[in-house]
Amino acid sequence: MIKEIIVVEGRDDVTAVKNALDAEVIATGGFGYDRKFIENLKKISEKRGIIILTDPDYAGEKIRKDLTKHIKNCKHAFIKQGKALKKGNIGVENATKEDIQEAILKARPEILEKREEFSKRDLIELGLAGGENSSRRREQVGEILGIGYCNAKQFLNRLNNFGITREELIKAVERIEKNEG
């Protein structure tokens, strides 16, 4: 598993990278990201590091430069335009598995052992899955931990793969419960 979180532009890019590598991948949603997204990436960068893999076009380079301006010590992966082109469309999602793997390996990622610190049962016991307010609680805890909002399965994945400790998770849950009460 790659230690760094790979930052791409869109959902199709996420799918392509996950099909090519064992890695956590986050999409910017094009230019649709906000200050909160940048703050979350900064926290993630401090814990795991990030590798930016944007489309080899003007918009992709603009996103890369903007993220680099806000987040220090980013690693960069590049796919040549000719290898990301399909029917006139340029994008990471058009690259082959091999080209994606090669681009990421050239960024010199660290390799980690897969971590299984948390289970679905932990999420249920902490009210982060399977309950009436689970979605809202995940959103609040995700914001505190800097891992963003997602469904329960992806949240569990992020807890295990973003280096979150049990103590950090419990403190975050206690914090939202204190605010609720």
**pLDDT tens per residue across span 121-161:** 999 999 999 998 999 999 999 999 988 888 999 999 889 88
User: Which residues of the chain are in CATH 3.40.1360.10 domains?
Assistant: 5-106
73 pLDDT exceeds 70? Answer: yes
Q: Give the span between the Cα atoms of 152 and 123, in whole angstroms.
A: 8
Chain centroid to Cα 77, Å, comes to: 15
Task: Quote the percentage of the chain above a pLDDT of 70.
Answer: 99
When pLDDT is cut at 50, 70 and 90, the band that residue 113 belongs to is confident
10 Cβ contact partners less than 8 Å away, ≥ 6 residues apart: 27, 28, 29, 30, 91, 93
The predicted model scores a pTM of 0.75
- 170 C-beta neighbours (distance < 10 Å), count: 12
Q: Which of 34, 46, 53, 36 is nearest to 71 (CA)?
A: 46
Per-residue pLDDT tens over the stretch 119-129:
999 999 999 99
Tell me the CATH architecture of domain 5-106: 3-Layer(aba) Sandwich (3.40)
Average per-residue pLDDT in the chain?
92
